[in-house]
A and B are shown apart, each in its own frame.
Chain A
Amino acid sequence: MAEFEWPWQYNFPPFFTIQPNIDTRKKQLEAWCFLIHDYCKHHKLYSLDVTEIQSSDLFYNKKINRKLSSDSLLTVLDELKKKGHLEWADKSKRQFTIVWRTQEEW
């Protein structure tokens, strides 16, 4: 399997801090959604656990010692849900499935 290609943002430390500027934050969340989507597709993941995924390299770049906090992660996942690429498996938002293609895309 070819190696996953990280976007430039992944090595950019502020990417792991939710941005205060609204426009910048919009771009940031969009980039996160793309990244999660591509990452899950590449590794053929669809059913995920929030706690588990939080410590995976997707949200924790050890090389630059930056990770997404629980709050930030929820912000990102909510954005993904809004775009139709995520379904929560439970009410407490612990488990979720990634929808590689939304219904419209099928």
Chain B
Amino acid sequence: MTFMYPLPVSVSLSLLCMPPHRPATKIKGNVIAEDQLAQMAKQMETFKVNLEEFATKHKDQIKKDPEFRVQFQEMCASIGVDPLASSKGFWSEMLGVGDFYYELAVKIVEVCMATSHRNGGLIRLDELKSRLEVSRHKNTQEISIDDLLRAIRKLKTLGNGFTIHPIGKTFLIQSVPGELTMDHTTVLQQAQKSYYVTVSGLVDTLKWEKERAIKALEYMLKEGLAWVDDQAEGERQYWFPTLFPDAQTP
């Protein structure tokens, strides 16, 4: 389909003053743009076909190799295909990637529920990973941090509940609804090394008002995310079981 540029029937004075080649360029421009669009669509189609072919050929590898999975997912994202959007899609039917992530998501929910009495519904991504690995059989597929984050993002579709908080270099996964503000995640970040913080410690390092530190810590106590220790030297310490290492998951 070619788009026709409507030429004016009566040529006004102002139009006469314009460079004569302008409408022609516009027409030409439109034609080129359309050609390109059609070509792009064709290229995308070819790319998709190739990707499908490629995926079918490397089905097992996608299932087995976590790194391969990341690359495949990134390719899909770049052409605007979400292989996880539906379990009825070509991708999940052909490759089982859908099943893989849905199963993983169910396992994630289980682990989060089983550990929430201890950590108040907040778990370190690496602890989640090692707990999942323990519960899985030795000869099943390897899982990566990327797989976990992908499965958790899919869980968000279910509504409020799962949130990913970047803390320093790692992530904390929140499995119970509850507001964690920047202040709270900052506190957790401060506690990452020693597993605890104090009010004056926060005031010193973050240059916070004392009230702000107290408010954040009180909230985290209330939510069961923090425990107090009154036997420490100096002042009360606030400890975070989420960050504290468990002997069972080294």
Contact = CB atoms under 8 A, between A and B. Distances in A.
Interface stretch (B10-18, B161-169, B198-206, B238-246): B238-246
A13 B221 contact: no
Contacts of A19: 227-228
17 contacts: A8-B118, A8-B246, A8-B247, A11-B247, A12-B244, A13-B196, A13-B232, A13-B239, A14-B227, A14-B237, A16-B229, A20-B221, A20-B228, A21-B221, A24-B227, A27-B118, A66-B229
A13 B237 contact: yes
A71 B117 CA distance: 25
Give me the 6 closest cross-chain CB pairs, A-B, nearest first: A14-B227, A14-B229, A13-B229, A17-B230, A14-B239, A8-B246
B222 A21 contact: yes
B247 A14 contact: no
A105 interface: no
Given A11-B247, A13-B229, 5 more contacts: A8-B247, A13-B232, A14-B239, A27-B117, A27-B118
Interface string A48-80: 000000000000000001110000000000000
B224 interface: yes
Interface string B158-196: 000000000000000000000000000000000000001
A12 B231 contact: no
Interface residues of B, number: 19
Given A20-B221, A21-B221, A27-B117, A12 B241 contact: yes
Contacts of B230: 17
B248 interface: yes
Contacts of A65: 231
Nearest to B222: A21
Interface string A22-64: 0110011000000000000000000000000000000000000
Contact of A16 (B224, B231, B248): B231
Nearest to B245: A8
A17 B117 CA distance: 18
A8 to B, nearest CB: 5
A106 B248 CA distance: 31
Nearest to A21: B221
A20 B238 CA distance: 12
Contacts of B239: 12-14
A64 to B, nearest CB: 9
A17 B244 contact: no
B236 to A, nearest CB: 9
Contacts of A8: 118, 244, 246-248
A12 B246 CA distance: 10
Contacts of A66: 229, 231
Nearest to B117: A27
Contact of A13 (B117, B118, B222, B231): B231
Nearest to B238: A14
A25 B241 CA distance: 14
